[in-house]
Amino acid sequence: MNLETHSNSLSVDFLALPQAELHLHLEGSLRPETVCALAAKYGVSASTQDVLKRYAYRDFVEFIESFKWVSSLLRAPEDFALAVRDLGGQLLAQNVVYAEITLSVGVMLLRNQSAEKNFEAIVAAAESFQGRGLQLNFVFDAVRQFGVDAAMKVVEAAEQCGSKSIVAFGIGGDELSIPAKEFRPVYEKAGVIGLRKLMHAGEVGGPEEIRQAIELLGAERIGHGIAAVRDPALMDLLAQRHIPLEICPQSNIRTGALAKQLELPSAQIEQHPLPQLFRHGIPVVLSTDDPAMFHTNLRSEYQNAQRMGLQDAELKRLAKMSFEYAFIDDNAKAALQRCGKATSALK
């Protein structure tokens, strides 16, 4: 599928805008050709067609199984560096000047890898893009079903790495596995060491998962959060507190999350609640989640938002929100957008 053709109906003005992305998993950005190269390195049989079959899902459980398989091929620091270099090139091609990349540190630790050595390689690869107009920061992510102790080890790994480019701690995985309240000490520790707080919630779980993430854990942005549309009072809360939802439309279609929230056998992109949430005054940051695994990119997601009925001015507002709610200071946000505009003008 040629993703670039999906940006044709976006305005020239919009396409010239610098972009930021805030919900993006490194492991889920691995393109089939990169997966094949890693598989060959480790003697794993995998053709492009095999990878594409893995990148097709009927539900969230099947997606998780594919994610586990793909991430199992990231075994050494140089593999993570390869993934960053591959992703950085993809982002630059879309005029992305800033991204917060989620790293599945919980999975690294489960596999007895050195999170510090992996992160050193990741940072070195990321720094090569700084001079090309792309700044990368990182989110250390735990896996909810691995438990509280495992999540605390992810926070401790972030503390040991001691890098300013680690801007946040988050938890993904099965949001229905362990109650949010159990993770309170983990989020308290993350706050003490200066990390911002994220949580995947309301993707396949209900509105109560979002509310608990905010009220019990102090989550400052919510990963997905599409279940909020089922609770008007929660929508009001998100709007009043200016808590952004990191919305990933194609992901919600591919995993069956949107169909689950709508209680339908399947769902189309036009049924996505993004416009309703956005027009209610809830901050929305449009993202790709796992772009290679969901056969999408950031421009395609803006195309999806357009298909939902958002107008050009609304799309531009969405693009601006991804800078407004990034975990960097206001001066850095302004500088990135200025540099991005200058770079676009030279193209």
Annotated active-site positions, please?
203
**Token pair for residue 50?**
């095999």
Asked whether 27 and 74 are in contact (CB, 8 A), the reply is: yes
The residue whose two tokens read 């449009």 is 286
Instruction: Say which DSSP state 275 is in.
Output: H
Torsion, Cα of 301, 302, 307, 313 (10° steps): 160
Rounded Cα distance, 179 and 173, in Å: 13
Asked whether 156 and 119 are in contact (CB, 8 A), the reply is: no
Rounded Cα distance, 300 and 175, in Å: 27
Rounded Cα distance, 35 and 329, in Å: 35
Which backbone phi and psi does 294 adopt, to 5 degrees?
-110, 10
In 42-136, which residue ranges form alpha helices assigned H by DSSP? Answer: 48-54, 60-71, 77-92, 105-110, 115-127
